[in-house]
Amino acid sequence: IPVEAFDLVVFGGTGDLARRKILPALFRRYCAGQMPEGAQIIGAARSEMDDAQFRVFVTEAIAEFNGDFPYKDEDMQGFLSILFYITVDALGDRGWTELAAKMQADRVRAFYFSVGPSLFGPLAERLHTYGMADMNTRIVVEKPFGRDLETAKELNRSLADHFDEHQVYRIDHYLGKETVQNLMAIRFGNMLFEPLWNSQYVDHIQITVAETVGVQGRGEYYDRAGAMRDMVQNHLMQLLCLIAMEPPSRFEPDAVRDEKLKVIRALDPVDPGDIVRGQYRAEGERQSYLEDVENPQSTTESFIALKLHLSNWRWAGTPFYLRTGKRMRARSSEIAVVFKETPHSIFDEEAGRHRNILTIRLQPNEGIDLDVTIKEPGPGGMRLVDVPLDMTFTEALGPDAEQVPDAYERLIMDVVRGNQTLFMRGDEVEAAWAWTDPIIAGWEERGDKPLPYDTGSSGPVDALALMHRDGRRWREVR
């Protein structure tokens, strides 16, 4: 889809996120022919740099983080020619007049706040003061969006002072994944699944986001956040919303986000016995969580598993099991919708009991599979076997189906197009914190400590028990 010419300013353009994700993503969109004539990308940060130095910085970022993405030299030259840099102080006056002068008239203006949340308010205010905030202006903010309901409200207020909600794009890159959107197509574009998508037919749903890395130099931030704030309140909650929501009346931003909000509001408070928190141990040369964050007393969790219930007509009685952690066995994220067994088996016991599972894999190998039970081929009588049906149909769709843009590419272009469907609305974020806050307060009041778990495992043994006691089990992390 073509986009209009735009000016995109990346505040924090010299930072880690810009280097690893945003700038390489913009380059790939350029190569895909999606940067219209006259577009400008302007890095703006505290660092002293000029356009030429910024172009070198971006060239190096692309070399390091674009893997073996093939491109033509002329694309690189073309991309570099639309890059500019202005030294700007978010907390002072430096650079703002220059930045305002760089803006072109009658353009979409997008400002990506790739900086810590304490700068969101000051940046919004200065955009206003220096005349860059008009109805064509959009701002993009990164996580963490607050650390509790109070701070999230404060951030929302500081943005709302200068921008309307329809100008604010709160990014959750999980929503930009192709497969996550395909989930909506599969749910709402087919007759086949929606009638079964409820507690009558679904036994349970599990969501796993497992990482192999530890806290990786983000120890100070992470130790103040933990897995609940860093992952569950935002990413896992967003996935849960898409899986559990009612069909929106249209595939439009507010229709979709209204339905997501209802899911969050339907969440029951969680029984402390339905939560397992963990901290990874040392292994060989790899340090323990406590060593990584240099805080031997820390009670922050690097792993969490929870069992949730939604109090609504569709899902009453179907538990949702969520888990996420660092230093786990594999880097693997998936949602599994586990259907109930057939009410009665007509086959003898040897055939075994089987169930359909719809698996939405976010990484590695993004895709959607449906396990279907069939007869094991051959003369051995009626033996049943579960085989995965590839629902992403890359073969049927041809080679283009594999050339999908990554999450940041899609989301940034959605900002330019003015499509907020895949971004979180302020009230969603607040509702998620309103649910999270009492859980965390409970740990703090009781002095709950996380359980140690081995690096390379699936988390603490108690997390397995959380499912076993219900006669269920987690899918393997692999």
Rounded CA-CA distance 3/1 in Å is: 7
Q: Please tell me the total number of residues recorded for the chain in this structure.
A: 478
List, in order, residues 6 or more apart from 145 with CB less than 8 Å away: 117, 152, 155, 170, 234, 424, 429
Rounded CA-CA distance 245/256 in Å is: 9
Instruction: Assess 14 for contact with ligand NAD (CB under 6 A).
Output: yes
Please, what is the minimum distance in Å from the beta carbon of residue 94 to ligand NAD? 8
By beta-carbon proximity to ligand NAD, the closer residue of 144 and 367 is 144
Report whether 230 contacts 222 (CB < 8 A).
yes
Residue with tokens 């700007």: 88
Among 16, 50, 376, 476, binds ligand NAD (CB under 6 A): 16
Report whether 41 contacts 107 (CB < 8 A).
no
Among 8, 61, 90, 412, binds ligand NAD (CB under 6 A): 90
By beta-carbon proximity to ligand NAD, the closer residue of 143 and 307 is 143
Select from 54-62, 108-116, 158-166, 433-441 the region that touches ligand NAD (CB under 6 A). 108-116
Residue with tokens 């308010």: 121
Instruction: Assess 12 for contact with ligand NAD (CB under 6 A).
Output: yes
Please, what is the minimum distance in Å from the beta carbon of residue 24 to ligand NAD? 13
Please, what is the minimum distance in Å from the beta carbon of residue 18 to ligand NAD? 6
Among 40, 114, 182, 300, binds ligand NAD (CB under 6 A): 114
Instruction: Assess 88 for contact with ligand NAD (CB under 6 A).
Output: yes
Instruction: Assess 115 for contact with ligand NAD (CB under 6 A).
Output: yes
Instruction: Assess 17 for contact with ligand NAD (CB under 6 A).
Output: yes
Please, what is the minimum distance in Å from the beta carbon of residue 107 to ligand NAD? 22
- b/e per residue 363-401 (b: at least 16 CB within 10 A): eeebbbbbbebeeeeeeeeeeeeeeeeebbeeeeeeeee
Of residues 130-149, those binding ligand NAD (CB under 6 A): 142-144
Q: How many residues bind ligand NAD (CB under 6 A)?
A: 22
Please, what is the minimum distance in Å from the beta carbon of residue 431 to ligand NAD? 21
Select from 85-93, 289-297, 298-306, 322-330 the region that touches ligand NAD (CB under 6 A). 85-93
Rounded CA-CA distance 239/146 in Å is: 19
By beta-carbon proximity to ligand NAD, the closer residue of 90 and 103 is 90
By beta-carbon proximity to ligand NAD, the closer residue of 276 and 415 is 415
Rounded CA-CA distance 404/401 in Å is: 6
Please, what is the minimum distance in Å from the beta carbon of residue 328 to ligand NAD? 19
Residue 412's nearest CA partner among 23, 42, 16, 75 is: 23
Please, what is the minimum distance in Å from the beta carbon of residue 89 to ligand NAD? 5
Torsion of CA 147, 421, 41, 68, to 10 degrees: 90
Q: How many CA atoms lie within 13 A of 232 on its CB side?
A: 30
Among 4, 51, 75, 89, binds ligand NAD (CB under 6 A): 89
By beta-carbon proximity to ligand NAD, the closer residue of 263 and 424 is 424
Q: In this structure, is the dihedral angle defined by the CA atoms of residues 461, 283, 362 and 399, taken in order, positive or negative? A: negative
Minimal CB distance residue for ligand NAD: 15
Which of helix, strand or coil describes residue 352?
A: coil
Please, what is the minimum distance in Å from the beta carbon of residue 164 to ligand NAD? 22
Of residues 282-301, those binding ligand NAD (CB under 6 A): none
By beta-carbon proximity to ligand NAD, the closer residue of 232 and 368 is 232
Please, what is the minimum distance in Å from the beta carbon of residue 61 to ligand NAD? 11
Which residues are part of the catalytic machinery? 235
- Structure tokens given for 78: 């073309």
- DSSP label at residue 230: I
By beta-carbon proximity to ligand NAD, the closer residue of 24 and 460 is 24
Report whether 28 contacts 69 (CB < 8 A).
yes
Helices (DSSP H) in 110-252: which residue ranges?
120-129, 149-160, 178-189, 219-227, 237-244
Among 116, 352, 381, 398, binds ligand NAD (CB under 6 A): 116
Residue 181's nearest CA partner among 362, 427, 428, 431 is: 362
Instruction: Assess 15 for contact with ligand NAD (CB under 6 A).
Output: yes
Rounded CA-CA distance 122/126 in Å is: 6
By beta-carbon proximity to ligand NAD, the closer residue of 36 and 217 is 217
Of residues 38-77, those binding ligand NAD (CB under 6 A): 45-47
List, in order, residues 6 or more apart from 5 with CB less than 8 Å away: 36, 37, 38, 39, 104, 107, 108
The binding site for ligand NAD (CB under 6 A) comprises: 12-18, 45-47, 88-91, 114-117, 119, 142-144
